[in-house]
Amino acid sequence: MLDALDRQIIQLTQAGLPLCPEPYAEMAQQLGVDAETVMQRLRAMQTDGIIRRIGAVPNHYKLGYRYNGMTVWDVVDDQIDILGAKVGQLDFVSHCYHRPRHLPEWPYNLFAMVHSKTETGVQDQIDQIAAILGTYQRSHEVLYSTRILKKTGLRIEAR
């Protein structure tokens, strides 16, 4: 489990990594430990899956992806795992999940996020998903994001 130093590392980097030639040494100095310790802790958290990777999160719009659609589908329950796995394999699907319905207003149980630079591109992506689901989907909708209201990632409280 996470100890106090891990938590300090998380807090120090939740807004981002220091932008300097030796970011881990910079963190170490702030934490009063040596750089090797910081790197060991980060590697251990990466191995445990606590850190997916040390990476960049782009703003989709700024990269030209104007059509960011959450496609949602009402899929027959006993087929959803097989079909969800197939939809998840499409290279343009960034996330694919089975989520609960909220009947009667929200009948959709399969969510697949798609991203495209053009309207025809996104329509083609939706058609490909529809083709996989075939007659096992009863209805669907596409919810486009129109504004990023917040995008910060995980925050933890000081303890």
According to CB under 8 A, which residues from 60 to 99 bind other proteins?
60, 62-63, 65, 70, 80-81, 84-85, 87-89, 93-99
| Beta-sheet pairing, 110-116 with 93-98 | antiparallel
Q: How far is CA 85 from CA 49, 107, 114, 144, in A?
A: 22, 20, 15, 23
Q: How far is CA 36 from CA 2, 29, 42, 82, in A?
A: 18, 11, 10, 45
Alpha carbons 66 and 39: distance in angstroms, whole number:
37
54 makes contact with other proteins (CB under 8 A): yes
- Least Å from the CB of residue 32 to other proteins: 18
Site for other proteins in 111-150 (CB under 8 A): 111, 115, 141, 143-150
Among the residue ranges 46-54, 122-130, 131-139, the one whose residues contact other proteins (CB under 8 A)? 46-54
- Least Å from the CB of residue 98 to other proteins: 4
Cβ-proximal residues to 135 (8 Å cutoff; 6+ apart), any chain: none
Q: Which residue in the set 55, 127, 134, 135 belongs to the binding site for other proteins (CB under 8 A)? A: 55
Instruction: With CB under 8 A as the rule, give the number of residues binding other proteins.
Output: 73
